[in-house]
Amino acid sequence: MFHKEGYKIIVITFIFVVISALLVDNFVGVYWLRMLLLLLIVAFLIIILQFFRNPKRNTVLNEKQVVSPVDGKVVVIEEVFEKEFFNEKRLQVSVFMSPINVHVTRYPIGGNVIFSKYHPGKFLVAWHPKASEENERTTVVVENETYGKVLFRQIAGALAKRIVNYAKVGDAVVQGTDSGFIKFGSRVDLFLPLDTKIKVALNQKVRGGESIIAELNE
């Protein structure tokens, strides 16, 4: 299954691949070179297809837990001052996505969208310390009665040239469902209450919609 954000690019890629393969087959006479070029063309197609894949995830709905919004690797777990919405200290957990990860962004908790904002910006590498404040990004806050408010921020990386955000203020959303898409490499930051119990470790690989990032510390 492929994500709807990739349909146009996939169609264009198929057309490009077919035309390129025909040209190579008809005009490249050297056998080994023709085979090499055809393999490169097929590899390019496979890369595009895998990037826009949208695998089904089995999210176990739980209002006391925060699931990972994306696939990737945990690169930050620290206490920070979040100044865009909360204006107070929160626990930040950041997940970095490489170009080979699934790039669908999913809602970490269910509830109501109470804040959603797009910020144009730069395209620094996603792990740059200033990326979360200077790169193109979107900020979304979801609230439910059990867990409270969770902010998650999609951040474009050096290769990401478009962030798609479906969240609109007032939406009632379901944990684990699609909230957006980031094209070609990026990261997502989560900002959680200070008393939350973190369930992941640095450098741990996580799966969007399934891996538990945090839960209420009862």
Catalytic positions, written as ranges? 186
Instruction: Confirm if 61 and 81 have CB atoms less than 8 A apart.
Output: no
Q: How many residues does the chain have?
A: 218
Query: Residue ranges of the alpha helices (H) in the chain?
Result: 7-27, 31-51, 131-134
Residue showing tokens 């809602």: 107
- The letter for the amino acid at 155 is I
Instruction: Confirm if 141 and 149 have CB atoms less than 8 A apart.
Output: yes
Cα–Cα distance between 39 and 190 in angstroms, integer? 40
Q: Quick one: tokens of 27? A: 């005009």
Cα–Cα distance between 36 and 22 in angstroms, integer? 14
- The letter for the amino acid at 104 is V
Cα–Cα distance between 213 and 216 in angstroms, integer? 11
